[in-house]
Amino acid sequence: MKQRPDGDIEIDEKFWKEDFHIPTCQKCNGILKPDVVFFGDNVPKERADKAMEVARECDAFLALGSSLMTMSAFRLVRAAHEAGASTAIVNVGKTRADDFVSLKINARLGEILPRMLNIGSLSIPALR
């Protein structure tokens, strides 16, 4: 497997055919997956609406580890920016919002976040 500059992994087709097994529910035989939205899936409407509301009302918006190539992620950064929030991105490589964010840090999250948290320059509020 090869890692791309944006952190994504190019997975060999052989892996999907031979080694990767999707777990299924023993009751309904449906696919078991975590409570996350995978690339290509839709964010549940209620969750998307709440995220947009918070983005429009925030003072600052920090996008972490995303190229923002999905519209669901990009529109949140754009909405925060248009509402007057300070916007920033930490990501390796180009992102869809590079042209308008106030700050872009081209770094790996695992390297930069511990340093930011240790010096106390980043606090993360709880979402209510």
Say what the pTM is. 0.68
Q: What is the mean pLDDT of residues 77-90?
A: 96
- Give strand pairing partners of 88: 62, 103
Question: Which pLDDT score is estimated for 48?
Answer: 93
Q: Tokens 């999707």 label which residue?
A: 22
* Alpha-carbon span 102 to 46, nearest angstrom: 29
CB 105 within 8 A of CB 88: yes
Residue 127: what residue type? L
Enumerate residues 6+ apart whose C-beta is below 8 A from 51.
43, 76
- Give strand pairing partners of 103: 88
Instruction: Write the CATH number of the domain with boundaries 13-119.
Output: 3.40.50.1220
Higher per-residue pLDDT: 37 or 78: 78
Domain ranges of the chain: 13-119
